[in-house]
């Protein structure tokens, strides 16, 4: 089975002229005359009405634990004796139990759109808070849209290529892209919610549908799976835990479901359902405790209409909450004490998992949760150290690992994301396991010998991942373990490079390029020869990039550990990289010059040396969603060539909301969208980057549970639409926000010793009362922490901490909410709306504070 279906599409030629005009007018830039604000909606996932955030952050204290009772108080109010089910100031006591030998009380409270679960002990007070994205069930509704009719995001089937009027509506406005204005344009993606852990892997996980019912799979031969409901019914069905016998009372109506992850990013499904007709609903929380053979447990919190009180079981009672509704709790496969005890373990583990590595505070908690959820979903889809392409269980699940599970693109992004979020130490274990088990003796990927052949460019990505691992950890032992395998991989690719040098004349445009499949779907095991595919430039660009970074890494390791062998190896590889750069540049220049007049006039970039005869508005699906993406991530360093590819997409009309489209279909194959993010973060104008990042979160993923399929039909799609492969959530797709937010906050230039802070932070993040704070962010120049917040007189205070030193220059970006230009800085040099601080001004100063006006 091919990983996805090959589609090609040609745009209407009449669009080319208007696209060229849009390029010349700077369609990707904010309009200097922009005077309108785009329509907005509220973000119900993190929305608080006045006073609600404060009430959830109230301090609870407990004492006098007895048998099923506890004395509790909120703030300085009078203490009150409670038993489970009782309330105090809107907080309901859910359970009392001994946790790790300490008596613990668990409270829960809900406001309009949110809630909080709090664990309290007598000595330490509040020891754990777990935020909830589900509050009053009566507030649940389909995501509203209020865009003008002329720009409303609706499904075109088939898709008619054209200008990105939706994206330009946002980019030409006076606001930066954000959830509130991007999500307002169209319907949401409704996906499944994962319940899993890091030990059980895909086959031990659950997916919950929009109504909270589990989507289980029939077990096929050899342990593989096919998407189909259990013949015996769903493993978990919330209707079994709701009171009464009338199914219409709790019937799920399309869209009236709020699918979230408890805490914003825990592997715990928290789904609310509301029926506006019967004015009843329920909330489902399901989790999988730690362990390979763990069994899922859950709780259903139901609204009980007064006429249904007679259907309660003996001993059950309801609680009236702030919204005036009566709620009833029932538990699945556990007791209240067992449920909250297990939940504490999950919550503690994942909160420490993120805060102990890289602590981040930004004004948009929803986006931060998306980045964290990407790492969580990926780790809960691996089986220990064994890789996966599928998130949870689905069409791509392969046990034992083979083919799709070993997809190099999925694995390299998994490692890359972990490194960027200060998890390089743990990522090294995954990295070494993959190199040891899934790289063949000749240096090829094991994936390549099975169903398909993946591009040789991945060797370059693995080399850069290895270099980044050493940059961030300086773990010489781990590098030494990797080197024998990396050398085999490099030798395998360089043989293909040498082939082009011995086969073609130096003046041939193929000279110095690297042959091989550009994409897994296009490769065949029995047809992997030099002439099986065109010589794609992304293969050469990525091999050069990997060589360059690997040589730099070996030289650094050789200096730090006094190894002449490593320094000699680095010198040799740097020479090969330099030669390769010269030859590929020569080929690119000759190919661009050989283009037909229409291509040259349009200023588009060729994909191969033979790509010189096309119409500028012609762009195939794979060129759009894969080939140019690999080019972008390699960061060749020629902005004109980067912009040429972006211009090609615009001329072909294959872009919606900053996302590439997939041929004739209104969908985006977002598993490679980190390529679009990578090229747009390098542009001077940060707003197109923000548009892509928020569009990925609002349309190519479920905005609450972060389920992100490989091919997202836009807008308003759901699992089950199209191929089971296309709508399966995959590692690459869920990690796009993870990479994107890190680059927004901290971006290291590849070929200059320059690190950007807050390069794509939107203007409203710099408003009064907001703060950007990052601790222990790794870079190849050293770890850095910083805190940016408004100060008096329309200025900003930036405090930078580099206790271990910093070996690069810093560019700190400030985007004033009113759009004005910066006028002064107490340290460094102003460069537009950024401050350049050279490394000499940082060295020897563990803490540096500056005031920017």
pLDDT in tens, 613-643: 999 999 999 999 999 999 999 999 999 999 9
| Residue 174: DSSP 8-state | S
**Checking DSSP bridges between strand 754-757 and strand 809-813, what pairing results, if any?**
parallel
Residue 734 has a pLDDT of 98
Pick the closest to residue 810 from 825, 793, 829 (CA basis): 829
Residue that has been written with the tokens 């006098």 in this structure: 64
Residue 450 has a pLDDT of 56
Residue 8 has a pLDDT of 31
Residue 20 has a pLDDT of 35
Residue 404 has a pLDDT of 86
- SS percent in the chain: helix, strand, coil, step 5: 35, 20, 45
Taking CA atoms, 487 is separated from 462, 463, 477, 492, in Å, by 11, 10, 16, 9
| Residue 626: DSSP 8-state | I
| Residue 627: DSSP 8-state | I
pLDDT in tens, 114-172: 999 999 999 999 999 999 999 999 999 999 999 999 999 999 888 889 999 999 999 99
pLDDT in tens, 806-836: 999 999 999 999 999 999 999 999 999 999 9
In this predicted structure, the answer to whether residue 684 has a pLDDT above a threshold of 60 is yes
**754-852: which CATH topology?**
Immunoglobulin-like (2.60.40)
Neighbours of 814 (CB within 10 A): 23
**Residues 155, 715 contacting (CB under 8 angstroms):** yes
Residue 582 CB burial class (10 angstroms; 0-12, 13-18, ≥19): exposed
Helix (H) / strand (E) element for 500: namely helix 476-503
Q: Identify the sign of the CA torsion 257, 262, 267, 268.
A: negative
Distance of CA 189 to the CA centre of its chain: 15
In this predicted structure, the answer to whether residue 68 has a pLDDT above a threshold of 90 is yes
| % pLDDT > 90, the chain | 86
Residue 11 has a pLDDT of 31
Taking CA atoms, 675 is separated from 52, 313, 338, 500, in Å, by 40, 56, 45, 27
The secondary structure of 777-842 as a DSSP string is E--TT--EEEEEEE-GGG-EEEEEE-TT---SEEEEE---TT-PPP--BSSSEE-SSEEEE-HHHH
pLDDT in tens, 337-376: 999 999 999 999 999 999 999 999 999 999 999 999 999 9
**Checking DSSP bridges between strand 847-852 and strand 125-132, what pairing results, if any?**
unpaired
Both tokens of residue 118?
Answer: 């709090």
Helices (H), 561-664: 564-594, 597-602, 621-622, 628-634, 639-652
In this predicted structure, the answer to whether residue 201 has a pLDDT above a threshold of 90 is no
Distance of CA 304 to the CA centre of its chain: 38
Looking at residues 96-102, what average pLDDT do you find? Answer: 96
Taking CA atoms, 499 is separated from 513, 522, 629, in Å, by 9, 21, 26
pTM of the predicted model as reported, rounded to 2 decimal places: 0.95
Backbone angles phi, psi at 237, to 5 degrees: -135, 110
Alpha-carbon distance 696 to 705, whole Å?
A: 13
Q: What angle, 0 to 180 degrees and rounded to 10, lies between the N-to-C axes of helices 736-745 and 365-379?
A: 130
In this predicted structure, the answer to whether residue 217 has a pLDDT above a threshold of 60 is no
Pick the closest to residue 387 from 433, 441, 324, 331 (CA basis): 433
**3-class SS of residue 96:** strand
In this predicted structure, the answer to whether residue 24 has a pLDDT above a threshold of 50 is no
Alpha-carbon distance 208 to 196, whole Å?
A: 11
Instruction: Give the angle 148-153-155 at the CA atoms, nearest 5°.
Output: 140
Residue 640 has a pLDDT of 98
**Checking DSSP bridges between strand 809-813 and strand 834-837, what pairing results, if any?**
antiparallel
Domain boundaries, the chain: 1-25+149-186+604-743, 52-132, 193-352, 754-852
239-258 burial by CB neighbour count: b if 16+ within 10 A, else e? bebbbbeeeebbbbeeebbb
Residue that has been written with the tokens 């013949």 in this structure: 231
Q: Considering only CA atoms, give the Rg of the chain.
A: 27
Count the helices and strands in the chain (H runs, E runs). Answer: 21, 34
**Residues 705, 369 contacting (CB under 8 angstroms):** no
Mean of the per-residue pLDDT values for the chain? 92
Residue 266 CB burial class (10 angstroms; 0-12, 13-18, ≥19): buried
Residue that has been written with the tokens 């000279």 in this structure: 511
In this predicted structure, the answer to whether residue 10 has a pLDDT above a threshold of 60 is no
Both tokens of residue 45?
Answer: 């996932």
Alpha-carbon distance 838 to 643, whole Å?
A: 29
Alpha-carbon distance 345 to 340, whole Å?
A: 9
Alpha-carbon distance 853 to 324, whole Å?
A: 49
Helix (H) / strand (E) element for 424: namely helix 424-438
In this predicted structure, the answer to whether residue 451 has a pLDDT above a threshold of 90 is no
């Amino acid at each position: 089975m091919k990983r996805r279906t090959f589609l090609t599409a040609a745009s209407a030629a009449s669009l080319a002229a208007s696209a060229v005009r849009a390029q010349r007018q700077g369609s990707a830039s904010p309009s200097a005359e922009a005077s309108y604000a785009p329509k907005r909606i509220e973000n119900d996932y993190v929305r608080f009405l006045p006073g609600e955030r404060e009430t959830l952050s109230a301090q609870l204290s407990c004492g006098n634990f007895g048998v099923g009772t506890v004395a509790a108080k909120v703030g300085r109010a009078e203490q009150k004796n409670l038993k489970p089910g009782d309330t105090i100031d809107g907080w309901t006591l859910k359970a009392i139990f001994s946790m790790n030998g300490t008596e613990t009380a668990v409270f829960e409270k809900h406001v309009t759109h949110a809630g909080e679960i709090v664990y309290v002990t007598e000595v330490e007070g509040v020891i754990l808070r777990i935020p909830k994205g589900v509050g009053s069930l009566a507030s649940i509704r389909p995501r509203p849209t209020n865009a003008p009719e002329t720009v409303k995001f609706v499904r075109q089937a088939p898709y008619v290529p054209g200008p990105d009027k939706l994206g330009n509506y946002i980019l030409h406005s006076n606001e930066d892209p954000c959830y509130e204005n991007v999500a307002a344009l169209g319907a949401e993606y409704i996906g499944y919610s994962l319940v899993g852990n890091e030990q059980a892997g895909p086959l031990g996980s659950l997916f919950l549908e929009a109504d909270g019912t589990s989507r289980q799979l029939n077990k096929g031969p050899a342990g593989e799976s096919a998407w189909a409901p259990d013949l015996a019914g769903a493993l978990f069905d919330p209707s079994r835990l709701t009171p009464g016998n009338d199914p219409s009372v709790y019937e799920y109506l399309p869209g009236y479901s709020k699918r979230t992850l408890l805490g914003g990013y825990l592997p715990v499904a928290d789904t609310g359902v509301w029926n506006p007709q019967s004015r009843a609903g329920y909330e489902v929380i399901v989790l999988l405790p730690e362990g390979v053979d763990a069994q899922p447990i859950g709780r259903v919190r139901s609204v009980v209409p007064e006429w249904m009180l007679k259907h309660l079981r003996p001993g059950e009672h309801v609680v009236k909450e702030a919204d005036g509704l009566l709620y009833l709790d029932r538990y699945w496969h556990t007791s209240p004490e067992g449920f909250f005890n297990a939940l504490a373990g999950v919550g503690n583990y994942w909160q420490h998992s993120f805060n102990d590595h890289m602590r981040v505070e930004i004004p948009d908690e929803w986006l931060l949760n998306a980045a964290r959820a990407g790492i969580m979903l990926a780790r809960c889809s691996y089986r220990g150290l064994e890789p996966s392409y599928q998130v949870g269980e689905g069409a791509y699940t392969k046990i034992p690992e083979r083919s799709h599970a070993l997809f190099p693109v999925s694995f390299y992004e998994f490692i890359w994301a972990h490194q960027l979020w200060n998890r390089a130490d743990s990522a090294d274990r995954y990295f070494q396991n993959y190199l040891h088990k899934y790289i063949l003796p000749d240096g090829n990927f094991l994936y390549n010998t099975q169903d398909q052949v993946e591009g040789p460019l991945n060797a370059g990505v693995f080399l850069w991942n290895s270099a980044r691992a050493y940059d961030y950890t300086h773990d010489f032992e781990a590098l030494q373990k990797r080197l024998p395998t990396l050398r085999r991989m490099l030798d395998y690719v360089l043989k293909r490079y040498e082939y082009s040098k011995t086969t073609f004349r130096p003046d041939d445009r193929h000279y110095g390029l690297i042959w091989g499949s550009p994409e897994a779907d296009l490769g065949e095991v029995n047809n992997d020869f030099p002439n099986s595919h065109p010589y794609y430039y992304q293969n050469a660009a990525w091999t050069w990039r990997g060589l360059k970074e690997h040589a730099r890494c070996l030289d650094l390791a050789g200096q730090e550990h006094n190894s002449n062998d490593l320094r000699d190896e680095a010198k040799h590889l740097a020479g090969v990289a330099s030669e390769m750069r010269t030859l590929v540049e020569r080929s690119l220049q000759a190919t661009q010059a050989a283009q037909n007049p229409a291509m040259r006039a349009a200023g588009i970039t060729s994909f191969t040396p033979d790509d010189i005869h096309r119409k500028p508005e012609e762009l195939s699906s794979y060129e759009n969603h894969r080939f140019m993406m690999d080019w972008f991530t390699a960061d060749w360093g020629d902005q004109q060539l980067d912009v040429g590819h972006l211009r090609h997409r615009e001329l072909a009309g294959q872009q919606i909301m900053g996302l590439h489209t997939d041929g004739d279909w209104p969908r985006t194959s977002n598993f490679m969208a980190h390529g679009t993010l990578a090229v747009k973060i390098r542009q001077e104008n940060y707003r197109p980057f923000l548009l892509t990042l928020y569009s990925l979160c609002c349309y190519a993923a479920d905005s609450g549970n972060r389920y992100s399929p490989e091919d997202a039909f836009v807008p308003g799609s759901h699992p089950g639409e199209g191929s089971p492969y296309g709508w399966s959530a995959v590692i690459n797709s869920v990690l796009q926000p993870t990479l994107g937010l890190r680059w927004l906050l901290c971006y290291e230039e590849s070929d200059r010793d320059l690190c950007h802070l807050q390069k794509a932070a939107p203007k409203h993040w710099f408003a009064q009362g907001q703060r950007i704070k990052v601790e222990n962010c790794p870079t190849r120049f050293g770890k850095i922490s910083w805190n940016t917040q408004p100060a008096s007189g329309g200025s900003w205070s930036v405090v930078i901490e580099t206790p271990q030193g910093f070996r690069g220059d810093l560019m700190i970006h400030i985007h004033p909410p009113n759009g004005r230009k910066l006028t002064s800085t107490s340290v460094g040099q102003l460069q537009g709306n950024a401050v350049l601080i050279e490394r000499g001004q940082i060295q020897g100063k563990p803490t540096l504070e500056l005031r920017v006006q």
